[in-house]
Structure 1
Amino acid sequence: MKKLTLLLMIAGSSLAFAQTHFGVKAGYNLSGYKVGDYQLDNKSFFYIGGLAEHQLSEKFSLQGELLFTELGGQDSQDLYDIVGDQVVQMGTQKIRLKLPQIQIPISAKYYISKPFSLSAGLNFGINLNPNVEFDPENFYNSSGKIENIKTINVFPFLGTEYKIAENFFVDARYHFNFIRINKKGSIDSNISIFQIGLGYLFK
């Protein structure tokens, strides 16, 4: 009887502690696009969305989010043409790869000492319209959709968060480029992501 009472007390205290908070967040997104061994210039963009954090205990919680952002990279290449019997540089062509995404990060959080926590998880990025822009376009390169990108990209990440007030927090994450973003049968393409932002939790 004493054991049953103790178990009921533990279960009751766990249920009493468990709670879910909703919030919003926004911030800065820096992505690095790599094709094979070639690293393109980084792309800066914003991210914005909402979150739900379910507190399991004083130390642990689970968090899910729904964000919008855009990943990608940029580069440039010299353009040449043959004029008479000479090869002449005709200028520079800019290349911009854009991957607008709906992202669904899911993470486990550990509060080292409130208000400071560490997190780890997976970010599932749903590509909306991956495309490439050439400026200027020419006979060999024209702007349009990138056909060989997977519909869903997966990014493992580590992060940290600090509550600067009861409702406000700042967080930072780094997403690793372990998993290729393109379909098989072509040169591997990978993206790493750094994010930093500000959030607000509703009480």
Structure 2
Amino acid sequence: MKKYFLLTLLFATSTGISAQNTNQPDSKMSFGVKGGYSLSNMKFFDNKLNSKSYFYIGIIGEQPISSKVGLQAEVLYTQVGGKDSYPLVQLVGNEIVEMGDIKFDYQLTQIQIPISAKYYFIPNLSASAGMNFGINVSKKVKTEQIVNGSTSHDYENIKSINLFPFLGLEYKIDNNFFVDARYHFNFIGINKGSSDTKIGFLQAGVGYKFQ
């Protein structure tokens, strides 16, 4: 008897949700593509590196919960990191001679999965908050000069997945096109060791949702 009651309750609940979604034309999940510009900043303890520019591109999906609230998930390809330089010196006889600067480019190539909750102030303008899961597919430090026999080295002691909490805004130009921007905070360290290494970054771009 209890089994049949649970099945009946489940059927009634499913029917109610389906009927509610039918009455709300905007409740259908939407998909799209997006891309844009990324600007990241990297810190070793209190030492802030020079910013790094890159692009991002990916796909998105949004599920409305109500007329004001929605959930969004994305899959993006991008790169974050920072740049720095150190003086290169050489001992010539009894003198130390400056040979210029050696530049380091820290590159974390990532597949990012941002998941966020969105709130629509008006039908075309929304704010979002969420967490971006950055899966590192490549971790490199590159230099213009040869260092230890190569210009590219593995960036060691970096976590496989980095977490970036973020806040953002989105504006719908029409039913298909939109622009958005979000900032990812450097609250969580990206490294496994004791050194405190963090990255924060801005993403701003355009997108297209299929109807």
CA contact (8 A) 1:80 1:87 kept: yes
Give the whole-Å Cα distance in 2 for the aligned partners of 1:151 and 1:64: 20
Q: d(CA) in 2 for partners of 1:141 and 1:190?
A: 26
Distance in 2, matches of 1:103 and 1:10, equals 35
- Whole-Å Cα distance in 2 between the matches of residues 188 and 48 of structure 1? 29
Q: Does 1:160 align with 2:166?
A: no
Measured after TM superposition, the shift of residue 138 of structure 1 is: 3.4
Pick aligned residue for 1:200 from 204, 208, 211? 208
1:10 Cα deviation from its structure 2 partner? 7.3
Q: Which residue of 2 aligns with 1:57?
A: 66
Distance in 1 of aligned mates of 2:128 and 2:89: 49
SS in 2 for 1:165: coil
Kindly indicate whether residue 85 of structure 2 is the aligned counterpart of residue 76 of structure 1: yes
Shift of 1:137: 2.3
Q: Distance in 2 between matches of 1:199 and 1:153?
A: 25
- The 1:8/1:96 distance shift into structure 2, 3 A limit, reads closer
Structure 2 counterpart of 1:28: 37
The 3 A distance-change label for structure 1 pair 52 and 138 is: closer
Q: Which amino acid aligns with 1:179?
A: I
Write out aligned runs for 1:34-183 (5 A): 34-139=43-148, 143-183=152-192
Which of 9, 15, 18 is residue 21 of structure 2 equivalent to? 15
SS of alignment partner, residue 15 of structure 1: helix
Quote the RMSD (CA, aligned, Å).
1.9
Partner of 1:3: none
Cα distance, 1:143 vs structure 2: 2.9
Q: Secondary structure at the match of 1:14?
A: helix
75-84 or 57-66: bigger deviation:
75-84
CA contact (8 A) 1:29 1:195 kept: yes
For residue 21 of structure 2, give the secondary structure of its aligned residue in structure 1.
helix
Contact 1:41–1:75 (Cα < 8 Å) also in 2: yes
What is the TM-score of this pair, normalised by structure 1? 0.91
Cα displacement (A) at 1:14: 3.3
1-side partners of 2:102 and 2:151: how far apart?
11
Alpha carbons 1:43, 1:71 under 8 Å: kept: yes
Partner SS state of residue 79, structure 2: strand
**TM-score after normalising by structure 2:** 0.88
3-state secondary structure, aligned to 1:133: strand
Identity %: 51
1:37 to 1:141, Cα distance in 2 relative to 1, 3 A: farther
- Residues of 1 paired with 2:199 and 2:75: CA distance? 19
1:90 deviates by 1.2
CA distance in 2, matches of 1:43, 1:8: 49
Please identify, of 79-88 and 154-163, the stretch whose mean Cα deviation from structure 2 is larger: 79-88
3-state SS of the aligned residue for 2:87?
Answer: strand
Gaps of 5+ in 1: 1-6
